[in-house]
Amino acid sequence: MNLPKKKILSELFLCFLLNDAQMISNVAYHKNVLAGLQKYAYDMVLLHDETVTASQLKMFQNLGMRTYLLGDDIKRLYLSGLQKVGGWEMDDIDVETTPLDDEHFSRRNLKRAYLQLKLGATTLTEYDFIVFSDFDAYLSENFEKELDWFQAHTEIKFVSSRTGKSPINAGHWIIEPSLKAAKIWLDDISTGFTYESGWNKVGKVMPSHISKDGSWKFTGAEMDQGLLYHIYGWEFRAALSWRTNLDNLEPLRGIQYSNAENGFVTHIQGQSAKPWFKNACAVKGKSMSKSRGHKLNNLAKPLYTAVAETDLASIGLDPTLQAFMNSECTPILKRNAQTC
């Protein structure tokens, strides 16, 4: 999925925002990871909306991906649900016909509509399991241990990576896809969401470590993270979230917490340094901790290798972006792989 473009801050040089360059690097990296695994058979599937061009789709298909279109009608269904409950800056908009761009909708609402499309993965019932990852998440080579665990615990229908103050993390998760889950998703987004009562008017049910007053005021509640919790936690009562610290966690309906330093996934969202920063090992003048540097180095090396081994011309990458990656991004990855 392409998100609305953001301005790049002048003091940070980011090679890979949510654009072709980051997605190519992610796909190339995971092709290398999956090539070394033999226990399961895998397809890589790109969930995308109608903003992805035909040339972009061809590029990802040339990289070996399947592509799965989630149409604008799903985004409109989500936005109309928010409009029904009011308070989402859309009172005077004809959601059914107005162009889905930032001239007509706020960027926040467009982002919400894009990110809830992740739940389209619930409809991929031709697969036994879905391992979902954002384009800023990178699975480690031992992530099959998590899949083994999930397969062995049939009572669990959803596993997410480590979380902060949200019930689950929507950046990486495993599910057994089902049309029942897909129906709840579509029913939820058509009904709308409020921070006071959540999805489907569940009410103030959140424990204090998530929300002091019980409301659904946590990151992603009104989009992917809240929807996934409502389906697999509240409705199915069959979710598990890895945690690094289980102290003082109040129970939450339908979700189990497990203390696991699992190393299944490297998720770089929100971290101060990323492998494509020019000075990844010293952000804002501060030296990186030894452990953070080690983790960054462990990702930068295979990421650099994957990008360097990809024939960018053969997959149909735009020549301008191809030159940019070769002259700027790949050297940054190489330097960080060597020095972090």
> By the 8 A CB rule, do 139 and 119 touch?
no
Q: How far is CA 249 from the centre of its chain?
A: 25
Rg of the chain over all Cα atoms, to the nearest angstrom? 20
Query: Tens digits of per-residue pLDDT, 20-51?
Result: 777 888 899 999 999 988 899 999 999 999 99
Distances (CA, A) of 38 to 106, 127, 142, 262, 288: 45, 17, 12, 20, 36
**Is residue 260's pLDDT more than 90?**
no
DSSP string for 285-340: TEEPPHHHHHHHHHHHHHHHHHHHTS-TTTTT--HHHHHHIIIIIHHHHHHHHHH-
Query: What confidence tier does 270 reach under pLDDT thresholds 50, 70, 90?
Result: low
The fraction of the chain above a pLDDT of 90, given in percent, is 51
Say yes or no to pLDDT of 227 above 70: yes
| pLDDT at 118 exceeding the cut of 90 | yes
Could you read off the pLDDT of 43-71 as tens digits, one per residue? 999 999 999 899 889 999 999 999 999 99
Q: What is the mean pLDDT of the chain?
A: 84
Cα 127 from Cα 108, distance rounded (Å): 32
The beta-strand segments (E) located in 185-318 are 193-194, 198-199, 239-243, 255-259, 265-267, 282-283, 286-287
Helix and strand counts by DSSP (H, E) for the chain: 10, 13
Distance between CA atoms of 198 and 319, rounded to whole angstroms? Answer: 46
Q: What is the pLDDT of residue 17?
A: 41
pTM of the entire predicted model: 0.88
